[in-house]
């Protein structure tokens, strides 16, 4: 089973700052990685697929990069609605499909 | 507009059973693979089960294998999850999620329902 590790667990930043979230896989997953955003009481929303492709309707301030075992989600300038939880998820050599434990971005 | 609407959740005693439904609309249901994903209160996301577009291929997480059964009905554009031998640790919001394969091998959950809460407690 491929294990995904996200860091940091919590990221404290101010609006307008740049956020860098990390996701590391226990073995190479090529670019078979997606990022989701989840607001309280809502289902996850797809942000990035294939490690670096923005999903439909996702603002340009969100970008993804990486391949193999190390991946990054970058939010170039945090908006108030961005202070929520982010999950990475792989789709390589599945099943199982696994998610990272999440990174919470909160207001400093 | 793509819509996924789950139902069937509720309070059930340990060892009990429940059947969850996911009504799909706004797309050709029979041409998409589907999944169930759950989230325990205050916890992260856990993939539960997958069913291919035709129903030929079915997979489960080890945590539910032998207890849960996924199925789908083309005629009613519905996805189901039969939950048997329920345990306290199965308490979670259960989401149905659609698969999108943009190119062979690049598959991801593109649409999610709002979820239905299953609580296992005596």
**Nearest CA distance, B32 vs chain A (angstrom):** 16
Instruction: For chain A, say whether B122 makes contact (Cβ under 8 Å).
Output: no
Predicted pLDDT at B103: 84
Predicted pLDDT at B105: 81
Contact B44 A100 (CB under 8 A): yes
**Nearest CA distance, B56 vs chain A (angstrom):** 15
The burial of A78, by beta-carbon neighbours within 10 Å (0-12 exposed, 13-18 middle, 19 or more buried), is given as buried
Low-confidence ranges of chain A (pLDDT < 70): none
Q: Per the structure block, which two tokens stand in for A40?
A: 């309280």
**Nearest CA distance, A68 vs chain B (angstrom):** 14
Interface test with B, best of A47, A95, A104 (most B CBs within 10 A): A95
Predicted pLDDT at B45: 98
**Contact (CB, 8 A) for B91 and B16:** no
Contact A99 B47 (CB under 8 A): yes
Nearest to B22 by CA among B120, B115, B106, B119: B115
Q: What is the pLDDT of residues B61-90, one digit of tens each?
A: 999 999 999 999 999 999 999 999 999 999
Nearest to A55 by CA among A100, A14, A89: A89
Nearest to B115 by CA among B4, B1, B30: B4
Instruction: Please list every residue in chain B whose beta carbon sits closer than 8 Å to the beta carbon of residue A95.
Output: 47, 50, 59-61
Residue B99's DSSP bridge partners are B109
Instruction: Please list every residue in chain A whose beta carbon sits closer than 8 Å to the beta carbon of residue B105.
Output: 32
Instruction: Please list every residue in chain A whose beta carbon sits closer than 8 Å to the beta carbon of residue B50.
Output: 95, 97
Q: Per the structure block, which two tokens stand in for A60?
A: 């340009």
Instruction: Please list every residue in chain A whose beta carbon sits closer than 8 Å to the beta carbon of residue B40.
Output: none
Please name the residues in contact with A97: beta carbons below 8 A apart, sequence gap of 6 or more: A89, A90, A91, B35, B47, B50
Q: What is the pLDDT of residues B9-63, one digit of tens each?
A: 999 999 999 999 999 999 999 999 999 999 999 999 999 999 999 999 999 999 9
Q: Are strands B78-83 and A85-90 parallel, antiparallel or unpaired?
A: unpaired
Q: What is the pLDDT of residues A64-89, one digit of tens each?
A: 999 999 999 999 999 999 999 999 99
Question: Prior bond to A96 cis, omega within 30?
Answer: yes
Instruction: Please list every residue in chain B whose beta carbon sits closer than 8 Å to the beta carbon of residue A31.
Output: 106
């Amino acid at each position: 089973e491929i294990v995904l590790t996200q860091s940091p667990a919590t990221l404290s930043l101010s609006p307008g700052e740049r956020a860098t979230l990390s996701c590391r896989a226990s073995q190479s997953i090529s670019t078979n990685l997606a990022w989701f955003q989840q607001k309280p009481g809502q289902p996850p929303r797809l942000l990035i697929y294939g490690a670096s492709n923005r999903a439909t309707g996702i603002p340009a301030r969100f970008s993804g990069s990486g391949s193999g075992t190390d991946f990054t989600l970058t939010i170039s300038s945090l908006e108030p609605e961005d202070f929520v939880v982010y999950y990475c998820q792989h789709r390589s050599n599945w099943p199982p499909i696994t998610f990272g434990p999440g990174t919470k971005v909160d207001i400093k | 507009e793509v819509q996924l609407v789950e139902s069937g959740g509720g309070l059930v005693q340990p060892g009990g059973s429940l059947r969850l439904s996911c009504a799909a609309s706004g797309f050709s249901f029979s041409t998409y693979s589907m999944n169930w994903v759950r989230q325990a209160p205050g916890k992260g996301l856990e993939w539960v089960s997958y069913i291919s577009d035709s129903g030929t291929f079915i997979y489960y997480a080890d945590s539910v294998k032998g207890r849960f059964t996924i199925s789908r009905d083309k005629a009613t554009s519905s996805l189901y999850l039969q939950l048997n031998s329920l345990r306290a640790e199965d308490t979670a919001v259960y989401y149905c999620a659609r698969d999108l394969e943009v190119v062979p091998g690049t598959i991801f959950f593109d649409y999610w329902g709002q979820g239905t809460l299953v609580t296992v407690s005596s």
